[in-house]
Structure 1
Amino acid sequence: MDLQPLALPATAGDWLPWTDARVEQGVAAAEAGLADLRAAAPGDPVALTRWNDVEVALSQVLSLVSLLGAVHPDGAVREAAESHDLATRRLATDVYLDAEVHARLAALDADALDAPARRVLADALRAFRRSGVDRDDATRERVRELDRRAQELGQSFSRAIREGRRTTRVPAASLADLPADWLAAHPADADGTVEVSTDYPDTLPVLTHARDAEARRAVARTMHNVAWPENDAVLAELLTTRRERATLLGHADWPSYDAELKMIGEGDRIPEFVDRVAEAADAPGRRDLADLLEVARAAGEDVVDFSSWRHHLETLRRERFDVDTQEVRRYLDAGKVRAGLLEVTGRLFGLRYEPVDAPTWHPEVTSHDVHLEDGTLLGRVHLDLHPRPDKYHHAAQFSLVPGVRDRLLPEGVLVCNFSRGLMELDHVVTLFHEFGHLLHHVLAGRHDWVRFSGVSTEWDFVEAPSQLLEEWAWDAGVLASFATDEHGTPIPSELVGRMRAAQELGTALLARTQTAYAAISYAFHQECPPDLTARLRELMARYSLVELVTDTHFHAGFGHLEGYTSAYYTYLWSKVIAQDLFSAFDADDLFAPEVARRYRDTVLAAGGSRDAADLVEDFLGRPYDDRAFSAWLDHRGEDHL
């Protein structure tokens, strides 16, 4: 079947009515599917097909409005998208509390279904149970109320972060050490000050390069107070709402409820895992901290905190490995990096990207159709890579259209906030990471059941393919293919070796920071502490070796608390798997086709059709383990010198 990409509006004024119409069509399709499902005779397998129709329709609507609410430049469209998002999620809540729909699915004979259909049925029945469909009327009604309130609160929390852009004014003289292109883009006002926004391309160069500690501290304080104080009360209510829902359905707390769907299985295993990683990273992390404290004291500072660690680490890397990120940046033109990313992933996975001149929501968005080597059209990707007002602040992959065999061509979107000129190497790595999600979405877009489409696998695993792809952004040969200076000279392999060694300095220190974030994610949901700021500081003091800046409230802008809830630990869990996956590749030939294509077909294309642990075991030929992760954690790069 010749599937076509979604035709987006050609003019700005068309977006609002088009969005309304798409949502209306999708909701109507879902309701029609529900009517057909209810009309099916008990035990008729057509009920499962109709259930798939419902999920396809709802997935299309939710993908669209989630994206538009995060990226569309027109506030009216964003507002409409958020309204549609809430209404559609309420419909989904009602569906999962519908006893008649549940009864039709529960009446099916699982043994009479093929393996994929059995998996879909089991997943659906579990989702109904977790929604409380089998509870009494009063409980079901309270669950409905809690779901709706949690959806409203989650949306408010994310909106406050997205629209919470703030600025800091600092003396121009304090920024003299910043890159020339950054300074040119930030001229001083008549009063001799420069405005620094909380957009990443503004803030991170200041925190990395400015020698003036007061300027860094002022910028960091603004950055870590985004959405404060408004999000403090929102988050507190969101936490208690989630906890009540979980306990109402018989779970000890929210993490226990949420972990049921994860590889980890049980909520109380989360702090055990986090503590194991923290312990493993402690000794090497403290060695890193001692090195940074030495650098800090030489600069007249006596603490390593969130305003200073990047700068001191940059200084240490420059002194120890002769790596200056400003030197590296001149090889990382944003346009060349984007083209290189497509060339690298195309070569690696046997793909061809065809540029598409089609309307999108913003002129800076670029689009490509993705083909297999034999010409088969797999899907379309959109790259929205640069900051603008009221856009989602971080880096993430969004679904625009879920892929379903012979029904829907998958479309995914990268939403990032990178420089339009020269990029930081960390941002190049992040771009590769997020593109890993995009490939997962497109390559796993040819299943009959939308439940298996794209990245719909266990959340513990979903970051692993992206973390794996980061390794290609660190390879000298890969970088040389697109990282060239203004004269076209490729980045020297010797410099890449020093960069890699320098990057590995601080690995354990930053892993400890990740354990702090994971502990916050878990403890906030498990405890619902009355004073979030106080508990934040206690957890950071226990897990992070880097101190918080005074008078900051990181949790108010910690967007993962909305989407990841208590499961931020999954970044670390996925890293364990990613390091093991990478061990199957030949470090001297990262483009070896046999292993790359086997990984593509065995792991990525499978989507959620099987348990992630089974997919990884099929690829590796054994169950995954943490040996490669442990080696990575304590590696300080000496073999690159």
Structure 2
Amino acid sequence: MTDAPLTPLTLPADDAAQAWVADRAEAGLAAAAALAQELREAPPSEALAVLQTWDALMLHLGNVAAMGSLYGNVHPDEAVRTTAEGAEQDVDRVVTELSLDAELYALFAGLSAEGLDADATRLLEKVRRDFTRAGVDRDEPTRRRIAEIRARITEVDQEFSKVVRDDVRTVRVAAERLAGLPEDFVAEHPAEDDGLVTLTTDYPDALPVRMFAEDAELRRDMTLAFLDRGWPANDALLRELFDLRHELATLVGYADWPSYDAEVKMIGTGPAIGEFIEKIADAAQEPMERDLAVLLERYVRDVPGATRISPSDALHYEELVRREQYDVDAQQVRRYFSFEKVRQGLLDVTGRLLGLTYVEVPDVVTWHEDVTVYDVRDATSGAELGRIYLDLHPRSGKYGHAAQFTLTDGVAGRQLPEGVLVCNFSRGLMEHDHVVTLFHEFGHLVHHVLGGHGAWSRFAGVATEWDFVEAPSQMLEEWAWDAEILASFATNADGEAIPAALVAAMRRSEDFGVGYRVRVQMFYAAVSYLFHLERPADLTARMVELQERYSPWPYLEGTHFFANFGHLGGYSSAYYTYTWSLVIAKDLFSAFDADDLFATEVAHRYRSRILEPGGRRDAADLVSDFLGRPYTFDAYAEWLAGSA
């Protein structure tokens, strides 16, 4: 440990990136191996020192894995991405070997918790549980098979993600078929030499086309292309992934993968996932039917005799209802949300709320010129808290959705927390939905930074139960809906702030359709859960059945949404966590004064009791400490029932 100021990581120039990734991986793996050997041959006599050595070992591995995951998803050079993916595979292999090391397990099993503080005791319990869940107590042939399975899972998961990332499809149309799309969108998509305009399935193209294009065939073509990304390559990969996960779970004593995966989450058991999905689906049934009736009434005016709304038309007609019945025109709304102003507004709002200052670092080396970098400081003390990277526009070879990636986990006295926000937004005007997404994802980033100042890397940042991770980010979305807050940065080309009356109308229109959007989420959650539980031979057929059961939209013939459902990788059987977290987020937000979202006392309490502890306590205890009571379903149920 040292009292010297910690400094952020120095990233390599483009021509040195591949060597830097390889060298950093080699050094990190070597340091971890040396510490593991020390624990085997000459372990410290005190339990605390053993835990400190282990945590240092895992920090080395975490640094390599984080670098591998980030550079494997964002670096423009495919060779660098491949090297980074290899580093991530190497870490997974080493973690598997360590977790199956009976000698190391015996060391931790024999430690006494006497004299350890609460955090160290919690760490000891977690380490012991990790060993047993890994299968360290199984016979040698079983442990060998477990190692093989884990290595292959990593490979398959990476290949699945790579297929999704790289499969950007295009729709080419005559310029006149862009009628209905915003003027700036049309200007940014000029016709090529053959007179056709190229549109891609990246979000800045796909979402406006599906929302605004008057040409129903264009909307259908874009939806077909968007929903079919990753097919057919990912069908076989996913079936293999589900089989491997099931085999792994059963080898270590669980009935199935969801049961294994849920044990370390708030929900506790696999069957509870199915019960939760049904509970939410039932609660959303009446609101869904109510709003679908309104949507269908508008739809049949243009499509006489229709009894259901095509998925390719859903966004468009939802936009028409909002425009015609709620006086909200998304094309008018987006004129208030220029990207540069939104980005600065995000920093201003979160800085004020959480007591932070962001200092841009303009000359730091990054992996792409689009990336902006900020040092994060405490607004009161000026203390350096970490560094964040914002990589917010699409490009070839880049991760295609929105997520926070770790660069380094923060540990007091060892290294600063550094995180990366990876999104794919327009460089010009943004849809308000994307503004909300930006606030959401930034919530993960500040959680990572503020939770990165404890003594143990195991509990750094968002290292809490996975079905709580989304709650702080979902709650932060509320700040992107407040009229006074939006007026501070949402201005049109003439400098006029977005009117409060328009924001109120936007909120009312957003509440329209909550029921059917929740049911879409339950469709996704059911795919995530039941594909892992049942491992169907025909994924498409089972998806169609689940879509009919849960989704408001009928199946669009010829599409295979699951093939690009990236959460089947990282979230595996637990996509339900988005809604589980939202239940908690609604309860967390109830503690704030809707008329003063920056109230100092509650904001400070939120920072200190929810974000800063990281994973040092169970999520339920963090929430109870903040609210002064256990969390309930009440706020979510009220929101769902009262929507529209």
Q: Is it true that 1:151 corresponds to 2:157 in the alignment?
A: no
| Equivalent of residue 71 in structure 1, options 55, 69, 74 | 74
Q: Does 1:28 align with 2:30?
A: yes
Query: Any conservation in 1 of the 2:179–2:215 contact (CA below 8 Å)?
Result: no
2:45 and 2:139 map into 1 onto residues whose CA distance is 25
Q: Is the contact between residue 43 and residue 107 of structure 1 (CA under 8 Å) also seen in structure 2?
A: no
CA–CA distance in structure 1, aligned partners of residues 79 and 546 of structure 2: 40
The CA deviation at 1:189 is: 3.3
Query: Match of 1:346?
Result: 351
- Equivalent pair of 1:43/1:104 in contact (CA under 8 Å): no
Map Cα deviations across residues 383-437 of structure 1 (whole Å, 9 max, x no partner). 0000000100000000001000000100000000000000000000000000000
The equivalent of 1:362 in structure 2 is: 368
Match of 1:85 among 77, 88, 101: 88
1:25-47 deviations in Å (ceiling 9; x for gaps): 11111112112212345863222
Q: Distance in 1 between matches of 2:396 and 2:146?
A: 36
How do 1:256-405 and structure 2 match up within 5 A? 256-300=259-303, 302=306, 303-357=308-362, 358-373=364-379, 374-405=381-412
Is 1:195–2:202 an aligned residue pair?
no
Q: Residue 186 of structure 1 aligns with which residue?
A: 189
Indicate yes or no: 2:533 matched with 1:526: yes
Match of residue 512 from structure 1 = 519
1:114 shift after superposition: 1.4
Letter in 2 for 1:264: I
- Letter of the aligned partner of 1:16 in structure 2? Q
Shift of 1:191: 4.4
Once the two structures are superposed, residues 317-346 of structure 1 have per-residue CA deviations (whole angstroms, 9 ceiling, x without a partner) of: 011111000000110000000000000000
Q: Does the 8 A contact of 2:75 with 2:367 survive in 1?
A: yes
| Alpha-carbon shift at residue 112 of structure 1 (Å) | 3.1
Deviation of 1:305 (Å) = 2.9
CA pair 298-169 structure 1, distance change in 2 beyond 3 A: same
Are 2:495 and 1:488 equivalent residues in the alignment?
Answer: yes
- Which residue of structure 1 lines up, in the alignment, with residue 592 of structure 2? 585
Of 38, 41, 50, 1:39 maps to 41
Distance 1:596 1:230 in 2: 47
Say which is worse superposed, 499-508 or 425-434, in terms of deviation: 499-508
| Identity score, percent | 55
Q: Distance in 2 between matches of 1:190 and 1:314?
A: 33
Moved more, 433-442 or 97-106: 97-106
What pairs with 1:87-236 in structure 2 (closer than 5 Å)?
87-236=90-239
- The equivalent residue for 1:19 is 21
Partner of 1:6: 9
- Structure 1 position 72, deviation (Å): 0.2
1:545 Cα deviation after fit: 0.8
Query: Quick check: 1:365–1:384 contact (8 Å CA) kept in 2?
Result: yes
Q: Distance in 1 between matches of 2:530 and 2:553?
A: 19
2:387 aligns to what SS in structure 1?
strand
C-alpha displacement at 1:447, in angstroms?
A: 0.8
Equivalent position amino acid for 1:157 in 2: F
3-state SS of 2:406 partner: strand
Q: Which residue of 1 aligns with 2:452?
A: 445
Q: Structure 2 CA distance, aligned partners of 1:214 and 1:99?
A: 61
Residue by residue, what CA displacement relative to the aligned partner does 1:525-577 show, whole Å, maximum 9, x if unpaired? 00000000000000011001122321100000000000000000000000000
> Does 1:561 pair with 2:568?
yes
TM-superposition CA deviations, 1:588-613 (whole Å, max 9, x none): 00010110110000010010000000
For 2:404, what is the secondary structure of its paired residue? strand
Whether contact under 8 Å (1:162, 1:390) holds in the other structure is: yes
- C-alpha distance in structure 1 between counterparts of 2:643 and 2:242, whole Å: 39
- Give the unaligned 5+ runs of structure 2: none
Give the secondary structure class of the aligned counterpart of 2:192: coil
Measure the CA separation in 2 of the matches of 1:22 and 1:42.
27
Q: Paired residue for 1:615?
A: 622
- Stretches of 4+ aligned residues off by more than 4 angstroms: none
Give distance in 1, aligned partners of 2:187 and 2:315: 22
Task: Give, in angstroms, the shift of residue 192 of structure 1.
Answer: 4.0
Q: Which amino acid aligns with 1:305?
A: S
Give TM-score scaled by structure 1 length.
Answer: 0.98
How far off is 1:190 after superposition? 4.6
Contact 1:217 1:549 in 2 (8 A): no
Offset, 1:233: 0.3
Give the C-alpha shift of residue 196 in structure 1: 1.3
- The SS at the match of 1:451 is helix
SS at match of 1:547: coil
Matches of 1:248 and 1:43 in 2, distance apart?
Answer: 34
Paired residue for 2:510, among 472, 481, 503? 503
Q: Is residue 150–residue 241 contact of structure 1 (8 Å, CA) maintained in 2?
A: yes
Q: How far off its partner does 1:19 sit?
A: 1.1
Alignment-derived partner of residue 459 in structure 1: 466
Give the Å deviation of 1:194.
2.0
For residue 490 of structure 1, give the secondary structure of its aligned residue in structure 2. Answer: coil
Counterpart residue identity of residue 367, structure 1: V
> In structure 2, how many angstroms separate the alpha carbons of the residues matched to 1:328 and 1:575?
26
Which whole-Å deviations, capped at 9, do the CAs of 1:251-306 have from their partners, x for residues lacking one? 11100000001000000000100000000000111111111111111122623232
Q: Tell me how far 1:499 sits from its aligned partner.
A: 0.6
Secondary structure (helix, strand or coil) at the match of 1:110 reads coil
Residue 111 of structure 1 and its aligned partner are, at CA, apart by 2.9
Report the Cα distance in structure 1 between the residues aligned to 2:160 and 2:272, rounded to whole angstroms: 27
After TM superposition, the score normalised by the length of structure 2 is: 0.98
Q: Can you list the C-alpha shifts for 1:210-251, whole angstroms capped at 9, x where unaligned?
A: 122111011000001111000000000000000011111111
**Alignment partner, residue 477 of structure 2:** 470
Paired AA for residue 468 in structure 1: M
* SS of match in other structure, 1:613: helix
Q: How many residues align?
A: 636
Q: Distance in 2 between matches of 1:111 and 1:268?
A: 37
Please give the secondary structure, in 2, of the residue aligned with 1:400: strand
Amino acid at match of 1:187: P
Aligned match for 2:56, one of 53, 58, 65: 53
- Asked whether the 8 Å contact 1:42–1:104 carries over to 2, the reply is no
Q: C-alpha separation between the residues in 2 aligned to 1:475 and 1:367?
A: 27
Does the CA contact (< 8 Å) of 1:399 and 1:412 recur in 2? yes
**C-alpha separation between the residues in 2 aligned to 1:42 and 1:164?**
51
Query: Does the 8 Å contact 1:42/1:107 carry over to 2?
Result: no
User: How many angstroms apart in 2 are the aligned matches of 1:635 and 1:329?
Assistant: 27
Give me the whole-angstrom Cα distance separating, in 2, the residues matched to 1:394 and 1:549.
Answer: 22
Deviations 1:172-230 (A, max 9, x none): 32221000111011122354432210100011000000122111011000001111000
Distance 1:42 1:366, change over 3 A: closer
